[in-house]
Structure 1
Amino acid sequence: MSVQNVLNTIKENNIQFVDFRFVDLAGRAHHITLPSTEVEAETFVNGVAFDGSSITGFRGIESSDMVMIPDTETAYIDPFTAHPTLIIMSNIHTPEGERYDRDPRSIAQKAEEYLQTTGIGTTAFFAPESEFFIFDDVRYESGMNKSYFEVDSEEAAWNTGRKEEGGNLGFKVPVKGGYVPVQPVDSQQDIRSEMVKVMQESGLRVERHHHEVSTAGAGEINFRFDTLTKTADNLLKYKYIVHNVANQYGKVATFMPKPLFGDNGSGMHVHMSIFNGDSPLFYEKGAYANLSPLAMHYMGGILHHAPALIALTNPSTNSFKRLVPGYEAPVNLVFSKGNRSAAVRIPIAAVTPKGCRIEFRTPDSTANPYLCFAAMLLAGLDGIKRKIDPVALGYGPFDTNIYHLSDEEKREIRSVPGTLDEALNALEADYEFLTEGDVFTKDFIDNYVAVKRKEAQAVAVRIHPHEYELYFGC
């Protein structure tokens, strides 16, 4: 969409405000809103100023002036505002006009540009499956003398005996019993359908939605794949719509990886493939899972760099509450066709040459999608350049249920890091593949690690409620 087309959209739809957005280090959107009367062609050249010192991980107060340069291709009408508003994503530049090297969206674009310089292919496609929970109530507090959280859902397994409903109607979702039941067990069919409707009206091509495995409102909506940066843009739009439709229903949605103890969490399985023009590069008929040697090397790069990648794909302390055995979480760094207990799965059902892809199942939605997708692409490209053979390195294939292997057999399988600190250590030890083509800078990585270390420390020093149960009577 050209600048003129955006200006025409503003006029034709009686748009009153234009919402310019950018994304921070954690992947959360921020916005500054201008009356549409103040938006001119020059706005898209000169940009919109903001204070970078107020955004975690950006700039100090002594050099805080930053500029948003809008990307007109991302424009869509906000489905939630009372006054007609147009949303436009932006890249971050310095006041001197240079692309800011800590801007996650610019990093994603640089990864796409780097792919084209390698001669390997022209386009990388990504498709995330971002899961979430919808709760009816959430309460939490972390203070000097108390620490707790409590969530509730009308369909939760713990509410089979609840009397406060005005008559308990049953049909609760059992623990690990929530995968694709029909109504009335699936109490959130209509709210997810409303989310899909709003997504479609906002330009997303949605493929399906369903209830997920966990009790208490676990859900998933899948939108169609696209190129790296566009998919990251779409994921921000997706999360914005899920959060706000839930709010309209008097509920609250969360993409937190592990909001409940004792049941499955929320992952973000990411499907990837590379094309050269219109030609898919991951397909070779008759090979293992119909994967080409190039695809196998790409997968080798993902698995080889996985401990470092996980600092970007699973960047929260809560991520590692999900990455434990027994809850369908992909903790084993191996590959398999169709096997969901492996970190990398190759889908084989109803797959065409153009649909041939690999699925990295470890990530979750606390990841900044621009950084997450860029890092995975760079890891895969490194695997192609170095011809990393995942079979020779012992990464598989493992076509049996890994959770049923003996302890001795499991010891032969490399696992994901056990904590955020371990993942950050791995990133500090293995980051050179990210700096290829100057996609990530060493300054960015050092700054990112410092920010995430503070998060890990903030959790580590706080008293956990379960410690009272374990140790109060010592």
Structure 2
Amino acid sequence: MSVQHILDMIKENSIEWVDFRFTDLSGRAHHISIPAIEVDENTFKNGVAFDGSSIAGFRGIEESDMVMMPDTESVFVDPFTAHPTLVVICDIYTPDGERYDRDPRGIAQKAEEYLQKTGVGTAAFFAPESEFFIFDDVRYDSSMNTSFYSVDSVEGVWNTGREEEGGNLGFKVMKKGGYFPVAPVDSQQDIRSEICRLLMESGLRIERHHHEVATAGQGEINFRFDTLTKTADNLMKYKYIIHNTAKQYGKVATFMPKPLFGDNGSGMHVHQSIFNGDEPLFYEKGGYANLSEIALNYIGGILYHAPALIALTNPSTNSFKRLVPGYEAPVNLVFSKGNRSAAVRIPVAAVTPKGSRIEFRTPDSTANPYLAFAAMLLAGLDGIKKKMDPTKLGYGPVDKNIYELSDADKKEIRSVPGSLEEALDALEADHEFLTEGGAFSEDFIQNYIDFKRSEAKEVAIRIHPHEYSLYFGC
């Protein structure tokens, strides 16, 4: 889309404000709004200045000046603002015109460029299944003498006996009972449909939506795959629209991996494949699950580097409350066709050659999508480069319910790291695959590790409410 086309779009839609956005290290969006009458070709040529020292993990105060450079292919009209606003996603540059090596979006673009340089293929396609909860109420605090959280939902299984204004109308979602009964058990059909309407108006192709397994308003909306950076852009848009639609309904949405104890958490299963022009490279009729050797090597790279990858795909302490056996959590570093207990699943139902893909089920939506997708691609490419055979490396295939295997058989299966600290240790020990093609810099990786270790320490030193249950009477 040309700059002139955007300027015409501003006039045609009576746009009053242009909102320039970028994504920080943690995957949160930030923005600066400029009056539309002040936006012209020079805005797109020179960019928008901002203070990088005020963004956690970005720059020191002595080198704080940074520039947002608008991407003309990323615009959409904000569906929530009272004053018509056009959103433009930006890349981050230093004042001397160099790409900033800690810009997550720039890392994603460099990973795509590296794919083309390898000669393996021309494009990598990604499709995340990002699950979420929509609650009616959330309260939490953590201070010197208090630590608690409380969430509530009219659907919650704990509310079967609650006295409600007008009477309790029943039809709660039972524990693990949310996949996927019709209304009135599913009380969020309309809000998900409204989210989908807004997503489609903003440019996403929606494939379906439904209630998910857990009680208390867990849902999933699937949008169509695209290339790596565009899919990350779409996921940022997806989360923004879900958060704000929930707020308009007087509710609150969260992508936190494990907001409830004792029921399924929210993952982000990531489907991915590589094409060379129009040719799908992951398909070979007659192979295991009709996968090509390239696809198997890609899987080998994902599983071999998984302990380090998880520091980027599951980058929160809460991520590891989800990654425990028994809640459909993909904690086992094996691959399998159609098996949801494996970290890598190969979809086989109604799959065409062009739809042939692998699904990495371990990630969750606390991940920065630009970093997570780039890291997965680079791990897979390393597997292709080194011809990593996942079968010879001991990663399966395992076409059984892993949770029902004998203890002896389970011992042969490697598991994901048990904590964020373990994952960060793995990333520190194994990250050369990320620096291929200059996608991730050594500076970025060390800065990221330090940033996340600080988060882990903040949680580790705080008193947990359950410790009172265990130890107060000692």
In the superposition, the TM-score normalised over structure 2's length comes to: 1.00
> Per-residue displacement from partner, 1:182-241 (whole Å, max 9, x unpaired)?
000000000000000110111110000000000000000000000000000000000000
The residue number in structure 2 matching 1:326 is 326
Question: Structure 1: how far apart are the matches of 2:92 and 2:76?
Answer: 19
The residue number in structure 1 matching 2:308 is 308
Runs of at least 5 residues in structure 2 that lack an aligned partner in the other structure: none
The residue number in structure 1 matching 2:435 is 435
1:45 Cα shift? 1.1
> Per-residue displacement from partner, 1:267-309 (whole Å, max 9, x unpaired)?
0000000000000000000110000000000000000000000
Question: Structure 2: how far apart are the matches of 1:350 and 1:273?
Answer: 16
1:424 Cα shift? 0.0
Instruction: Say yes or no: does 1:147 pair with 2:147.
Output: yes
Question: Structure 2: how far apart are the matches of 1:333 and 1:2?
Answer: 45
Runs of at least 5 residues in structure 1 that lack an aligned partner in the other structure: none
Question: Structure 1: how far apart are the matches of 2:398 and 2:124?
Answer: 26
The residue number in structure 2 matching 1:469 is 469
> Per-residue displacement from partner, 1:11-39 (whole Å, max 9, x unpaired)?
11110000000000001100000000110
Instruction: Say yes or no: does 1:235 pair with 2:238.
Output: no
The residue number in structure 1 matching 2:133 is 133
Identity rate, percent:
79
1:408 Cα shift? 1.3
Alignment-mate amino acid for residue 53 of structure 2: S
> Per-residue displacement from partner, 1:431-461 (whole Å, max 9, x unpaired)?
0000000100000000000000000000000
Question: Structure 1: how far apart are the matches of 2:444 and 2:108?
Answer: 13
3-state SS of the aligned residue for 2:73? Answer: helix
Instruction: Say yes or no: does 1:119 pair with 2:119.
Output: yes
Question: Structure 2: how far apart are the matches of 1:473 and 1:223?
Answer: 51
1:406 Cα shift? 1.2
Alignment-mate amino acid for residue 59 of structure 1: R
Alignment-mate amino acid for residue 100 of structure 1: Y
Instruction: Say yes or no: does 1:162 pair with 2:156.
Output: no
Alignment-mate amino acid for residue 30 of structure 2: H
Instruction: Say yes or no: does 1:204 pair with 2:204.
Output: yes
- After TM superposition, the structure 1 = structure 2 runs for residues 17-32 of structure 1, keeping only pairs within 5 Å, are 17-32=17-32
Which deviates more from structure 2 when the two are superposed, residues 161-170 or residues 95-104? 161-170
Question: Structure 2: how far apart are the matches of 1:166 and 1:401?
Answer: 45
1:165 Cα shift? 3.4
Alignment-mate amino acid for residue 397 of structure 2: P
1:180 Cα shift? 1.1
The residue number in structure 2 matching 1:456 is 456
The residue number in structure 1 matching 2:380 is 380
Alignment-mate amino acid for residue 273 of structure 1: S
Runs (4+) off by over 6 Å? none
3-state SS of the aligned residue for 1:73? Answer: coil
Please report the RMSD computed on the Cα atoms of aligned residues, expressed in angstroms.
Answer: 0.4
The residue number in structure 1 matching 2:411 is 411
3-state SS of the aligned residue for 1:22? Answer: strand
Question: Structure 2: how far apart are the matches of 1:434 and 1:372?
Answer: 11
The residue number in structure 2 matching 1:223 is 223
In the superposition, the TM-score normalised over structure 1's length comes to: 1.00
Alignment-mate amino acid for residue 215 of structure 1: T
The residue number in structure 1 matching 2:264 is 264
3-state SS of the aligned residue for 1:100? Answer: coil
Alignment-mate amino acid for residue 120 of structure 1: V
Question: Structure 2: how far apart are the matches of 1:4 and 1:414?
Answer: 54
Question: Structure 2: how far apart are the matches of 1:60 and 1:410?
Answer: 47
Question: Structure 2: how far apart are the matches of 1:146 and 1:385?
Answer: 52
